[in-house]
Structure 1
Amino acid sequence: MATDALNAAEPLSTNDVDFPNTTTVLANNFMLEVEANLNIKLGDRFIFAGTNFSDAPVRDLRTLSLYNATDLGSAPAAANAIETADTLPEHVVDAGGAATTESYHTGFTAAGTVDSKAYEAMKVTIADSQPIVYNITANEPAFQNLIEGLLRLKSAAQTGLTEPEREEFLGEARNTLDNARVELRQLQARNGTVINELSRTKEIHTSFINISQSALTDLTVANDAEVATRIAALRTQLEASYSTIADTNRLSLVNYL
C-alpha cells in the first residue's frame, strides 16, 4: 500500500484537470484500507488496539482535517513529531491559524492524551520459560507515517493551492510515505521473527507428541483374565510366606525340649 501511495504522490502533472478528484479518491481509498486493516478483530479482540481489546483503535481517516498552506515546511510549520511511549499519535492542522490538534486514534481526547494500554504489547508463553511478545499496535511509527503521508497526499488535491504549494505537499507526502515503507518492512521482519519462533516451537511440541504417541502405541495391553490369575497366585504365595513367618515367630526353646 505504501508503494502504491508513493506512486500516487508522483503524478504526471498536477495541472491535469482530473488531478484533484482522482487524487482525493485514491487517498480516501488508501485511508479506508488502512482503517480496515488496523481495526481487524480476532475473535472478540481488536488486535492492533494494545490491551484495549474491545475498542477499535482507528477512526474514519477520511474525516481528518486537511492541511493548509500554513502547514507546509516552507511556511515554516514545525514537522509533526512521532509519538512514542504512552502518548497517542497526534498532529497539528492549520499551524498558522487555529493550530488544531487532531489524531487518527479513537482514544484521543486532547493534545498529549496518554493511554498506556494502547501501547501495551501482549506476551504469551509458548514453552517452559519461553515467552514471546507478539502484538503490534496502531501507534507504531510506521502507521503514524503512513497516515501522515496519506493526509499530505490528500491535502495536495484541495482547491485554492498554488502550483508550488501543491508540489510541496506531494514532496512531503512522498518523503513520509517512503519512511513508512521502510518502517513497515521492519515491522514485517519483526513479526516474521516471532512467527519463526512460533513455528520452531510448534515443531518441537509436535515431535514430542509424536514420540509420546509412538510410545503409547508400543505398550502391550494386558489380558484381564491372565492378570487376575497371576495376582491370585502371587497372593497365595504371599499368604504362605506370612504363615511361615508367623510360625517362626511362635517358636521358643520350649519347643525343642
Structure 2
Amino acid sequence: MSWLSTRMSTYQINYFMRSSVSEASLALQRAGQELSSGRRADMFGDLGPRAGIAITMRAREENTQSFLDANNVLEHKLDAMLLSVDAVRAPVEEVMQLALLNQESAGTGAFAIQQQARSALEAVLSSLNNSFNGEFLFSGTSSEVPAMNRWSEVNPGTGLSPEDVMAAIIGTGPTDVGSANAIVAELDQLFAGTHGTAGYNYEETFYNGTPELDGSSNPNERIKGRLDAGQELTYGIQANDPAFRDIIKGLAMLATVDIEQIPDPDAYKAWMQEAVQTLASGVQGGLDASANIGFSQNLVEKAKERLGDLSMVQRNQIASYENIDPYEVATRMKGLETQLQASYSVSTRLSGLSILNWYR
C-alpha cells in the first residue's frame, strides 16, 4: 500500500495568506471608492461589452449639454437684441409724435424738432452698435465691427461722415415742392444704395456690417444658430434692414433741416409728410423685428425644453449602467472586512507556530 502525502510549508501558507489579504484589501478599497462616488470603479470589468453602450450614451449626453449651453447663450443674446430694438423705437416715436403735430405747418414745438431728431439719431446709432459677448448685434456676420458709423464721425473707407453726406444732398433745404421732391428722390437713392456718387450710399458711409447683397447681387447669409442636431435658426437682424434705413432717413431729414426756415408752405408739407411717413414705416418695421425676435425666443425655449427632457432620459440610462447599488456595495464591504479580519487572525496564529512549541 502506498501513501500520497501532500505537505505545505509554513512559507507557502504565509505567501497564500498575504496574497489573499492583498486581494481582499484591493477589493475593499475599490468598494469604498464605489460607495463614495456612486459609480462603478471598473466599468469595463463589470459591464464587459455593455460598457460601449454607456460610453456612447455619455457622448450623446455631452453633445446634448453643448446644445443646451449654446441655447442659453443664444437666449441671452436674443434678449439683448430685443432690448436694443425697443431702445431704437422709443426715441423715434417721440420725434414722430412731435412731427405729426407740426406736419401741416410749423406750430408749437417746431423749434425743438431739429434738436430732438439729432438726439434721437445719436441714441439710435448707439443702440444699433450694442454688442454681446464681444460681438456687435446688428452687424450681421461681420460681428467684429460696429454696425453703424456715428453721425459726425468720418468713415475711413469713404472719408465722409453721415452728416457730411446728408448736408451735401440737402444743402440749405427745400425751397419749393419741386426741390423737396428732388431732394427726397436723391435721399431714396442714398438709402437704397443706388446713388451714383462714391460714398453717397448707406452701406458705404453709414453702415459698416455685412452688406445686403454679395458681389453677385445675391443675398448674403444671415447669422444662424443650431438649436439641436436637426434644427437651425436664422435670427440675424441687421442695421441695414429696411426698418432701420427708414428710421435713420426720417430722423436725418429732420436733424439736417431747420423746418422753421423752409419758406414755402407746400414745400414744408411735402418735406414733413415724407419724414413722418418714413419714420412711421421704420417704427412699424421695428415692431416686426421685435416680433421676429420674440418668435426666435420661443423656438429657443422649446428647444431647451426638448433637450432638457432628452438629457434626463439619457442621464437615467447612463446611471443604469454606471451607478452602483449602495446597499449591495455596503454588504460587500462588510463581507470583505470580515474576510480580512479572519485572514489577519490566521496569519497571527501561523506566525506564532514553531517546531520548538511542538516539542514542549
TM-score normalised according to structure 2 size:
0.50
- Give, in whole Å, the separation in 2 of the partners of 1:91 and 1:14: 33
> RMSD across aligned C-alpha pairs, in angstroms?
4.0
Secondary structure (helix, strand or coil) at the match of 1:223 reads helix
Task: Report the CA distance shift for 1:126/1:113 in structure 2 as closer, same or farther (over 3 A).
Answer: closer
Is the contact made by 1:73 and 1:79 (CA closer than 8 Å) also made in structure 2?
no
Deviation at 1:152, TM superposition (A): 1.6
Task: Report the CA distance shift for 1:133/1:54 in structure 2 as closer, same or farther (over 3 A).
Answer: same
Match of 1:25?
Answer: 115
Deviation at 1:195, TM superposition (A): 0.9
Match of 2:297?
Answer: 195
Match of 2:329?
Answer: 223
CA offsets 1:88-130 (integer angstroms, 9 cap, x no match): 85486xx9xx99825352439xxx99699x9541111111210
Deviation at 1:168, TM superposition (A): 2.5
TM-score normalised according to structure 1 size:
0.68
Q: Report the count of equivalent residues.
A: 217
Deviation at 1:70, TM superposition (A): 5.2
Task: Report the CA distance shift for 1:119/1:161 in structure 2 as closer, same or farther (over 3 A).
Answer: farther
Match of 2:208?
Answer: 107
1:14 paired to 2:113? no
5+ long unaligned stretches in structure 2: 1-88, 153-161, 337-360
* 1:206 counterpart letter in structure 2: G
1:4 paired to 2:94? yes
- Tell me which of 143, 162, 180 is aligned to 2:282: 180
Deviation at 1:216, TM superposition (A): 6.6
- Give, in whole Å, the separation in 2 of the partners of 1:135 and 1:82: 25
Deviation at 1:25, TM superposition (A): 1.8
* 1:32 counterpart letter in structure 2: E
- Give, in whole Å, the separation in 2 of the partners of 1:61 and 1:9: 21
Which of the two has higher C-alpha Rg?
A: 2
Match of 2:27?
Answer: none
Task: Report the CA distance shift for 1:193/1:131 in structure 2 as closer, same or farther (over 3 A).
Answer: same
Q: Is 58-67 or 170-179 further displaced after alignment? A: 58-67
Structure with more contact order per residue of length (Cα contacts < 8 Å, sep ≥ 6): 2
Secondary structure (helix, strand or coil) at the match of 2:95 reads helix
* 1:74 counterpart letter in structure 2: G
- Tell me which of 230, 254, 269 is aligned to 1:129: 230
CA offsets 1:49-69 (integer angstroms, 9 cap, x no match): 111122112111355234244
Task: Report the CA distance shift for 1:186/1:15 in structure 2 as closer, same or farther (over 3 A).
Answer: closer
Secondary structure (helix, strand or coil) at the match of 2:146 reads coil
* 2:268 counterpart letter in structure 1: R
5+ long unaligned stretches in structure 1: 231-257
- Give, in whole Å, the separation in 2 of the partners of 1:154 and 1:227: 83
Identical-residue share of aligned pairs (%): 18
Deviation at 1:24, TM superposition (A): 2.0
Task: Report the CA distance shift for 1:175/1:128 in structure 2 as closer, same or farther (over 3 A).
Answer: same
Task: Report the CA distance shift for 1:133/1:228 in structure 2 as closer, same or farther (over 3 A).
Answer: farther
Is the contact made by 1:122 and 1:133 (CA closer than 8 Å) also made in structure 2?
yes
